[in-house]
């Protein structure tokens, strides 16, 4: 059996990639993908610990996270389409009208 | 009827509520207000009659004490909301509601066409209710509620025509001057509670059998008790009585706080009649009669009371001689007559004080309403130099005014003769010659200025033809006639030999009727003859010199007295002394500091400072709101790292 630490390391790596992608990329679609990556990194960690602890709670929680993530993507993509229609771009740095 | 005495103050209060919340039209307001006070008078009369024929025997002194509810109860401090009806309250209630109802009726005519009649009647009703609480209270605190309530109504009604600057400043002045007396009253109340542990006048048995003790019946407990301030020892009773006296000088317009009353004439004339002549200003005299056991413990304070009263009587009488404004003459005359009452109370002649209070309430209301009728009939003329010859145009007003003036001057057999003579006789038999002299001269001056006023107003030729004088309507002359009858008959209350009022008040005031002997008879005859002579002199002089009196001209007597006359016109410059001593250095400096320093820098600084701090903080924080989503993400990440790091370390 694969030790739990492998899963957790993979999860951490995925999360870091997601976070870095969030920070360095400007394309809104890639940002979304990065967010998804982070969410799924968390999911992976939850499932791994659930298996180690023989406790189904973590697995149940993953289903909730997936549901929420789906809703988030739906809303986010709708926003993205709206932004693209008015600004003709998906570069988030171009969308900074609310600068204080 | 005894269980219904709560109706007496409640009815005017209901009238007030109706006028405030329901009634919008002038006509109804007058009827409701008058009806409420008239009904209250009927209830009071019925109660009074029952009290006279079958007094409640169980209580000593005889009284009806109706505790409506427990008002304040904090630890040892118990104040029930209790109404008291005893001989003293009874006569006061009859005066307040009786004269009050007539003045309400008169107001319907006088205030007709005014722009704020409903409000006027609402305040008038509230005033009557508060005055009834004052005289029917069975404890100091409820009395204080009425005391402040009448002060408030006085303020509101003086300022009824608030478009006029004189009215608003007179209202503010009355309020501020009264406040000085009220503060002293409050301290006196605290001292009473500190020494007796109660504020009730007499013992009260509550519904659950508990008894609240009263302090009047055991005032002796503080006799001889001493308190010290560094370097000086005082009797406790002197301290309390003196504080009460300061309260009295404020409310009853005595030296040195009388200055608000002449200015209070800026209000509508019926208000002057009701509040500033017949009822509210008598509250101080009532208070002294009610709390007389405390005053009697302190000979020092009684001396002060007597002297303040007598000096006020003289100073105000001299000031009244030199006034041109028809209402200001009466205002100073009121101050002077209140001085008589206070002096009587100081000499221990409480019955005489209350007797004069009652008769004065009737005939001074009559005089004020008469002057209101004159003002009404001459289209708001108040300067007597512009009047003259009005007896042909206003016969009813003239006759009733003559009766009132005679009563005030103390002409036999009108009401003022009996009551004022009793006070002067007391000063005589008390071997107090200087007081007697002050009061005697004042009473002669009283007759003189009334003669002068009658001559200036009603005799001679009309000096200003810019108006067409006419008699007032029936709704105004009816109260005048009723009050005139009262001014003739009121003296019968306490005729020498019969002493009905003395007997009636004896249980409450513990004062036996004075002897009436040959000395008193001679004194009475001399007083009334001299008063009549002095009144005739005043009348004769001003009728003879009526050609010299023109609007804006000096008084004919000015030629003989010069600067003294000017001092009289200004009431011995007491008002101006206040201005020089307190208003200019103290109040103005304070106002300047407040307006120039405290308000712009303190208050405004605080307000602006809050706004400035927020805008500074905002411009510091807006740096973070760059509009770049990725910056937000970075900050978010940094925040998460910090929180997680914190959790790891702990």
Reported as a single tens digit per residue, the pLDDT across B525-540 is 888 899 999 999 989 9
pLDDT for position B24: 86
Query: Taking residues B448-477, what's their average pLDDT?
Result: 87
Q: What is the pLDDT of residues B385-404, one digit of tens each?
A: 888 888 888 889 999 999 99
Please report where in the chains the tokens 């009730």 appear, as a residue.
B200
Longest dimension (CA), chain A: 54
Tokens in use for A84?
Answer: 């693209």
CA atoms of B361 and B95, how far apart (whole Å) = 7
Q: What is the pLDDT of residue B586?
A: 82
Q: Which 3 state secondary structure label does DSSP give B93?
A: helix
**CATH code: domain of residue A38:** 1.10.287.3510
**Tokens linked to A42:** 């968390």
Whether residue A42 lies within 8 A of chain B, CB to CB, comes out as no
Mean residue pLDDT of chain B comes to: 88
- pLDDT greater than 90 at residue B474: no
DSSP-assigned letters across all residues of B308-361: HHHHHHHHHHHHHHT--BHHHHHHHHHHHHHHHHHHHHHTT-HHHHHHHHHHHH
Which residues, 6+ apart, have CB-to-CB distance to B121 below 8 Å? B15, B19, B29, B30, B32, B33, B104, B107, B111
User: For residue B514, what is the DSSP state?
Assistant: P
pLDDT class for B278, splitting at 50, 70, 90?
confident
How distant is the Cα of B617 from the closest Cα of chain A, in angstroms?
A: 13
Buried b (16+ CB within 10 A) or exposed e, B356-385: bbbbbbbbbbbbbbbbbbbbbbbeebbebb
Whether the CB-CB separation of B418 and B407 falls below 8 Å is answered with no
Instruction: Compute the 3-state secondary structure of chain B and give helix, strand, coil in percent, each to the nearest 5.
Output: 75, 5, 20
| Pairing, β B226-229 against β B232-235 | antiparallel
What angle in degrees, to the nearest 10, is found between the helix axes of B415-429 and B518-544? 120
Residue A98 lies in a domain: no
Structural element, H or E, at residue B66: strand B64-74
CA angle B77, B80, B81 (to 5 degrees): 140
| H or E, element range at B301 | helix B299-321
Q: Inter-chain contact B629–A98, Cβ cutoff 8 Å? A: no
How much is the ipTM here? 0.85
Separation in Å, CA of A96 to nearest CA in chain B = 4
Determine contact: A31 vs chain B, CB below 8 A. yes
Measured between alpha carbons, how far is B532 from B535 in angstroms, rounded to an integer? Answer: 5
- Name the H helices within A1-100: 4-24, 28-53, 57-87
Give the tokens for residue A36: 């998804």
Distance (Å) of CA B52 to CA A89, B57, B362, B427: 102, 12, 22, 31
Say yes or no: B637 contacts chain A, CB-CB below 8 A. yes
Instruction: Classify burial at B419, counting beta carbons within 10 Å of its beta carbon; exposed 0-12, middle 13-18, buried 19 or more.
Output: buried
> Does residue B152 register a pLDDT over 90?
yes
Q: Of B269, B354, B261, whose CA–CA distance to B316 is shortest?
A: B261
Q: Quick check: is A100 in a domain?
A: no
B166-198 confidence digits (pLDDT tens): 999 999 999 989 999 999 999 999 999 988 888
Q: Is the pLDDT of residue B646 over 90?
A: yes
Domain assignment present for A76: yes
CA-CA-CA-CA torsion for B487, B488, B489, B490, nearest 10 degrees? 30
User: Which H or E element spans position B68?
Assistant: strand B64-74
Q: Is A17 on the interface with B (CB under 8 A)?
A: no
Tell whether B624 lies on the interface with A, counting CB pairs under 8 A.
Answer: yes
Tell me the pLDDT band of A64, cut-offs 50, 70 and 90: very high
pLDDT at residue B74 in the model: 85
> Cα B432 vs. chain centroid, distance in angstroms?
28
Question: Does A42 reside within a domain?
Answer: yes
- B511 confidence band (pLDDT: 50, 70, 90): confident
User: Taking a C-beta distance cutoff of 8 angstroms, is the pair B291, B244 a contact?
Assistant: yes
The structure tokens listed for B584 are 């200019």
Output the pLDDT for position B378: 87
Q: How far is B588 from chain A (nearest CA, A)?
A: 49
Q: Which has the higher per-residue pLDDT, B218 or B282?
A: B282
Check whether the bond before B61 is cis (ω within 30° of 0).
yes
Q: Is residue A97 part of a domain?
A: no
Q: What is the pTM of this model?
A: 0.80
Q: Which of B284, B280, B15 has its CA nearest to residue B152?
A: B280
pLDDT score for A100: 66
Identify the weakest region by mean pLDDT among A80-84, B229-233, B272-276, B380-384: B229-233
Domain annotation covers residue A96: no
Instruction: Determine the distance in angstroms separating the CA of B642 from the nearest CA of chain A, rounded to an integer.
Output: 15
Mean local confidence (pLDDT), B120-126: 93
Residue A30 domain-assigned (yes or no)? yes
pLDDT tens sequence across B62-81: 888 888 888 888 888 888 88
Report residue B203's pLDDT band, with 50, 70 and 90 as the boundaries.
confident
Cβ–Cβ of A100/B625 closer than 8 Å?
Answer: yes
Structure tokens at B316: 């105000």
Banded pLDDT at B125 (limits 50, 70, 90): very high
By the 8 A CB rule, do B625 and A98 touch?
yes
Q: What percent of chain B has pLDDT over 90?
A: 42
B169: exposed, middle or buried (Cβ count in 10 Å: 0-12, 13-18, 19+): middle
Q: Does the pLDDT value for residue B205 go beyond 90? A: no
| Residue A97 three-state SS | coil
Q: Which residue of A has its CA nearest to B618?
A: A100
Mean pLDDT of B566-571: 83
Q: A98 in contact with B at a CB cutoff of 8 Å?
A: yes
CB of B640 within 8 Å of a chain A CB? The answer is no
Nearest CA in chain B to A98: B627
Cα A18 → chain centroid: 7
pLDDT in tens, B580-630: 888 878 888 888 898 888 988 889 999 999 999 999 999 998 888 888 888
Q: How far is CA B146 from CA B72, B258, B334, B563, in A?
A: 16, 20, 21, 42
Work out the minimum CA distance from A23 to partner chain B, whole angstroms. Answer: 6
Q: What is the pLDDT of residues B330-372, one digit of tens each?
A: 999 999 999 999 999 998 889 999 999 999 999 999 999 999 9
The string of pLDDT tens digits covering residues A24-61 is: 988 889 988 999 999 999 999 999 999 999 999 999 99
Please report which confidence band the pLDDT of residue B559 belongs to, taking 50, 70 and 90 as the band edges.
Answer: confident
Total domains, chain A:
1
- Among B135-139, B171-175, B411-415, which stretch is predicted with the lowest mean pLDDT? B411-415
The mean pLDDT of B478-504, rounded to a whole number, is 86
Which chain B residues are Cβ-neighbours of A93 within 8 angstroms? 628-630
Residue of B nearest to A28 (CA): B629
Residue A99 maps to a domain: no
User: Is the pLDDT at B496 greater than 80, yes or no?
Assistant: no
Which of A5-14, B48-57, B246-255, B397-406 is the least confident region? B48-57
A33: containing domain: 4-91
Q: In the prediction, which pLDDT does B149 show?
A: 93
Task: List CB contacts (< 8 A) between A100 and chain B.
Answer: 622-627
> Is residue B201 a contact partner of residue B213, using CB atoms and an 8 Å limit?
no
> Is residue B259 pLDDT above 80, yes or no?
yes
Report phi then psi at B69, rounded to 5: -160, 170
Tell me what pLDDT residue B643 has.
96
At A26, list the tokens: 């400007």
Cα-to-chain-centroid distance, residue B401: 23
Alpha-carbon gap, residue A19 to B151, rounded angstroms: 76
* Helix axes B415-429 and B350-377, enclosed angle (nearest 10): 140
* Res B432: pLDDT: 80
């Amino acid at each position: 059996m694969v030790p739990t630490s492998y899963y957790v390391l993979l999860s951490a790596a995925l999360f870091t990639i997601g976070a870095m992608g969030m920070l360095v990329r400007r394309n809104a679609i890639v940002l979304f993908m990065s967010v998804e990556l982070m969410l799924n990194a968390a999911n992976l960690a939850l499932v791994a610990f659930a298996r180690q602890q023989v406790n189904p709670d973590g697995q149940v929680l993953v289903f909730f996270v997936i549901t929420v993530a789906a809703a988030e993507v739906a809303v986010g993509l709708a926003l993205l389409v709206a932004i693209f229609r008015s600004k003709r771009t998906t570069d988030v740095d171009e969308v900074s009208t609310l600068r204080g | 009827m005894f269980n219904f005495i709560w109706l007496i103050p409640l009815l005017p209060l209901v009238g007030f509520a109706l006028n405030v919340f329901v009634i919008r039209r002038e006509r109804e307001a007058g009827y409701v207000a008058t009806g409420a006070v008239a009904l209250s008078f009927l209830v009071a009369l019925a109660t009074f009659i029952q009290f006279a024929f079958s007094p409640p025997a169980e209580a000593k002194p005889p009284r009806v004490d109706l505790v409506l509810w427990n008002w304040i109860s904090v630890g040892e401090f118990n104040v029930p909301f209790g109404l008291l009806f005893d001989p003293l309250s009874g006569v006061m209630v009859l005066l307040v509601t009786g004269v009050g109802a007539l003045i309400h009726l008169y107001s319907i005519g006088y205030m007709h066409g005014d722009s704020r009649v409903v409000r006027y009647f609402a305040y008038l009703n509230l005033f009557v209710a508060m005055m009834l609480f004052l005289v029917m209270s069975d404890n100091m605190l409820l009395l204080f509620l009425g005391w402040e309530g009448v002060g408030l109504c006085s303020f509101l009604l003086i300022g009824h025509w608030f478009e006029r600057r004189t009215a608003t400043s007179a209202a503010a002045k009355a309020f501020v001057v009264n406040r000085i007396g009220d503060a002293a009253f409050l301290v006196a109340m605290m001292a009473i509670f500190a020494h007796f542990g109660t504020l009730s006048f007499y013992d009260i048995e509550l519904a659950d059998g508990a008894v609240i003790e009263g302090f009047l019946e055991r005032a002796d407990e503080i006799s001889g008790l001493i308190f010290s301030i560094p370097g000086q020892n005082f009797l406790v009773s002197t301290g309390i009585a003196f504080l009460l006296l300061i309260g009295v000088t404020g409310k009853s317009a005595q030296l040195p706080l009388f200055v608000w009353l002449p200015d209070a004439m800026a209000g509508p004339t019926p208000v002057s009649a009701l509040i500033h002549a017949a009822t509210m200003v008598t509250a101080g005299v009532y208070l002294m009669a009610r709390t007389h056991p405390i005053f009697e413990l302190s000979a020092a304070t009684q001396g002060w009371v007597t002297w303040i009263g007598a000096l006020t009587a003289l100073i105000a009488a001299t000031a009244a001689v030199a006034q041109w404004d028809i209402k200001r003459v009466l205002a100073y005359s009121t101050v002077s007559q209140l001085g008589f009452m206070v002096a009587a109370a100081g000499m221990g002649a409480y019955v005489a004080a209350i007797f004069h209070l009652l008769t004065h309430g009737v005939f001074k209301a009559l005089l004020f309403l008469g002057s209101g009728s004159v003002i009404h009939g001459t289209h708001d003329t108040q300067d007597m130099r512009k009047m003259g010859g009005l007896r042909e145009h206003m016969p009813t007003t003239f006759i009733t005014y003559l009766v009132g003036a005679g009563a005030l001057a103390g002409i036999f057999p009108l009401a003022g003769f009996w009551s004022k003579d009793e006070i002067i006789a007391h000063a005589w038999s008390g071997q107090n010659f200087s007081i007697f002299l002050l009061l005697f001269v004042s009473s002669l001056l009283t007759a003189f200025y009334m003669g002068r006023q009658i001559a200036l107003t009603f005799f001679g030729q009309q000096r200003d033809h810019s108006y067409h004088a006419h008699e007032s309507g029936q709704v105004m002359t009816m109260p005048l006639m009723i009050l005139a009858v009262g001014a003739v008959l009121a003296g019968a209350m306490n005729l020498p030999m019969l002493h009905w009022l003395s007997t009636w008040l004896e249980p409450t005031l513990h004062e036996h009727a004075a002897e009436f002997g040959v000395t008193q008879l001679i004194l009475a005859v001399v007083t009334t003859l001299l008063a009549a002579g002095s009144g005739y002199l005043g009348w004769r002089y001003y009728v003879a010199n009526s050609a010299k009196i023109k609007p804006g001209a000096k008084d004919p007597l000015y030629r003989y007295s010069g600067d003294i006359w000017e001092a009289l016109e200004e009431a011995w410059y007491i008002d101006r002394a206040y201005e020089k001593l307190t208003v200019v250095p103290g109040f103005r400096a304070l106002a300047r500091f407040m307006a120039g320093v405290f308000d712009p820098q303190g208050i405004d600084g605080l307000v602006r400072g809050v706004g400035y701090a927020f805008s500074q903080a905002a411009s510091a924080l807006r740096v973070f709101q760059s509009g770049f989503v990725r910056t937000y993400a970075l900050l978010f990440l940094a925040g998460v790292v910090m929180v997680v790091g914190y959790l790891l370390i702990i």
